[in-house]
Amino acid sequence: MSASAWGLLALFLVMLLAAAWPLGSWLARISSGSLPGWMHKTEAPLYRWAGTKADRAMNWSQYAFALLAFNVLGVLVVYLLQRGQAWLPLNPAGMMAVSPDSAFNTAISFASNTNWQGYAGESTMSYLTQMLALAVQNFLSAATGIAVVFALFRGFAAKSTGLIGNFWVDITRITAWVLLPLSVVFAVFLAGQGVVQNFDAYQEVTTLEASQTTTQTLAMGPVASQEAIKMIGTNGGGFFNANSAHPFENPSALTNFLQMLAIFLIPAALCFAFGREVGDIRQGWSVLAAMTVIFVLAVMAVTPAEQAGNPLLFALGVDQSGSAMQPGGNMEGKEARFGINASALFATITTAASCGAVNAMHDSFTPLGGLVPLVLMQLGEVVFGGVGSGLYGMLIFAILAVFIAGLMIGRSPEYLGKKIEVHEMKLTSIAILVTPILVLAGTAMAVMAGAGTAGIANPGPHGFSEILYALSSAANNNGSAFAGLSANTPFYNTLLGLVMWLGRFGVIVPVLAIAGALSCKKRLPVTAGTMPTHGPLFVFLLIGTVLLVGLLNYVPVLALGPVVEHLMLWPAV
């Protein structure tokens, strides 16, 4: 990595830490309900209308049922708005109704915090659909993920209560007192920097270049408001097809940097909230350290791979520098305003954080450069991960890590004073294995079906990587794409829709069951024989567990895709 790449990474991590620490304190207060009196008074009417009370806690099954019912309703509303948008207001471009299969896919995509898009937003969705369907779900799906990790916090902290909080209270407080204020501030900043925010009709402008076509249509719309929660909620769905490579979504190097910061902000802050909620801030630091180490290693892999460039260009005589290295690196698919360093960092952040936003096309990355985002998703989106989902995924790996350590030293495994027994390990196994099963089975179906291979834009191992990336993105609720697969078809819309739903809630339900089981257990005191879970040894153990267990499932398919493509590419030098 170049000195400028190291400088950008260091600046990013320092600013992330400075912003996440105070936010973590506020998130802990939201989780515990330690709010100012005026906030409680503001909330009270909402709970009365909903038929619940702030102090009415639920057990895990009640919490899970409320969460699932809420998200099913969200899918239905988003689907109906898409199907009826041609007859609804705020549609100056006259967008027609979205097809049934695309509407089905998009409804599940945004309700599951995946935000996979098989369509171009500026030519498919009306302003009303963008705001009332997609932007609203950006808030609610993000709040759902944070609510689940709050429930898990309470499971670790509870003393034989069997209760993990109230879903309706959690989602209200997270939306009203965290996501909405942050998004308003960020949206105002983005609009001030040049991100579009209006209800104007699409504009016809005269181009500067002399050509047969002298005019160009510029899409307008309420972009800044959706862009803010897209990043803060690790959603990633773009208002425009080019996503954060579009100047109306991401107009400058400053907005690009702050968008990257916004993606990691809540996932990092939740680590500090976790430490406060379980009564030992060191626990949060250890989880954050494990995430950061894996993240830095990923940046150190993808950036040099893109800086090295494509050896085929040298072999063809395109590069006359006398070296197999392109002086400018691999700029294919990159936004020239940001260059390789910022594009590589953005790609690592967005796939580490379960956010599908992109400012470069991953399909144009080198084989090893494309391998890194793919692996980050396949680890289970636990390297910071989505808001809430990243931390509860990492805590599942932490439970597995202490179980493995307990077997190695011959002691009953404990984590944060709670014994980890057979029931918890069965649920942990389910939560870890759901997504690999969905990815591998879905990829197998797609490569065997004619409708699946018909969407491949590039033959050979790269085409296989396109399919593998799509299924990995869907099952792990990331939403980014290699951008080389034609996926807006009934086959892929249906397959990916089902994978996104099962990948989201097939993990959430076991996590809530674990929270419920832990909340029923007594909290044991720390003794001389208790394995510490806040030092370098545990951080190393946690990283090893994530890499070994999370990645070994995918080694054969990775060998068929990006690894083979890399071996085919570099012998040409």
Q: What is the DSSP string of 341-358?
A: HHHHHHHHHHHHTT----
Contact at 8 Å (CB) between 106 and 119?
A: yes
- Per-residue pLDDT at 210: 63
- Per-residue pLDDT at 232: 96
CB-based contacts of 571: which residues, under 8 Å, 6+ apart?
Answer: none
pLDDT band at 141 (very low <50, low <70, confident <90, very high): very high
Provide the 10 A C-beta neighbour count for residue 468. 26
Contact at 8 Å (CB) between 358 and 245?
A: yes
| Res. 321: pLDDT tops 80 | no
| Res. 366: pLDDT tops 80 | yes
| Res. 150: pLDDT tops 50 | yes
* Cα–Cα distance measured from residue 26 to residue 178, given in angstroms and rounded to the nearest whole number: 8
Largest Cα separation within the chain, whole Å, is 80
Contact at 8 Å (CB) between 404 and 545?
A: yes
Sign of CA dihedral 260, 296, 541, 356: positive
Tens of pLDDT, residue by residue over 73-131, are 999 999 999 999 999 999 999 999 999 999 999 999 999 999 999 998 899 999 999 99
CB-based contacts of 153: which residues, under 8 Å, 6+ apart?
Answer: 31, 273, 274, 277, 278
> Residue 1, exposed/middle/buried by CB under 10 A (0-12, 13-18, 19+)?
middle
Length of the chain: 573
| Res. 253: pLDDT tops 50 | yes
| Res. 238: pLDDT tops 50 | yes
| Res. 160: pLDDT tops 90 | no
Quick one: which of 531, 547, 560 has its CA closest to 293?
547
Instruction: Please measure the distance between the N-terminal and C-terminal CA atoms of the chain and give it in whole angstroms.
Output: 21
pLDDT band at 323 (very low <50, low <70, confident <90, very high): very low
Q: Average pLDDT of the chain?
A: 91
pLDDT band at 315 (very low <50, low <70, confident <90, very high): low
Q: Range with the lowest mean pLDDT among 210-214, 239-243, 278-282? A: 210-214
Contact at 8 Å (CB) between 352 and 298?
A: yes
- Per-residue pLDDT at 318: 62
- Per-residue pLDDT at 322: 41
Written as one string, the DSSP assignment of 13-40 is HHHHHHHHHHHHHHHHHHHHT---HHHH
Contact at 8 Å (CB) between 281 and 272?
A: yes
- Which residue has 């690894």 as its token pair? 563
- Per-residue pLDDT at 211: 65
- Per-residue pLDDT at 152: 96
| Res. 183: pLDDT tops 90 | yes
| Res. 326: pLDDT tops 60 | no
% of the chain beyond a pLDDT of 70: 96
pLDDT band at 327 (very low <50, low <70, confident <90, very high): low
Bridge partners, 360 (sequence order): 334
pTM of the prediction? 0.94
* Cα–Cα distance measured from residue 515 to residue 163, given in angstroms and rounded to the nearest whole number: 9
Alpha helices in 379-489 (DSSP H): 389-409, 422-448, 450-453, 461-475
Bridge partners, 215 (sequence order): 206
* Cα–Cα distance measured from residue 399 to residue 537, given in angstroms and rounded to the nearest whole number: 15
Mean pLDDT of the 264-272 span: 97
Quick one: which of 140, 149, 112, 110 has its CA closest to 267?
149
| Res. 471: pLDDT tops 60 | yes
More confident residue, 213 or 43: 43
Sign of CA dihedral 92, 96, 100, 102: negative
- Per-residue pLDDT at 257: 96
* Cα–Cα distance measured from residue 484 to residue 375, given in angstroms and rounded to the nearest whole number: 18
* Cα–Cα distance measured from residue 476 to residue 438, given in angstroms and rounded to the nearest whole number: 9
Bridge partners, 203 (sequence order): 218
Q: Range with the lowest mean pLDDT among 393-397, 432-436, 548-552? A: 548-552
Q: From residue 40, how far is each of 14, 45, 120, 146, 344 by CA, in Å? A: 34, 10, 42, 20, 44
Tens of pLDDT, residue by residue over 10-30, are 999 999 999 999 999 999 999
Token digits of residue 36:
């100012």
Q: Range with the lowest mean pLDDT among 58-67, 198-207, 284-293, 346-355? A: 198-207
- Per-residue pLDDT at 174: 97
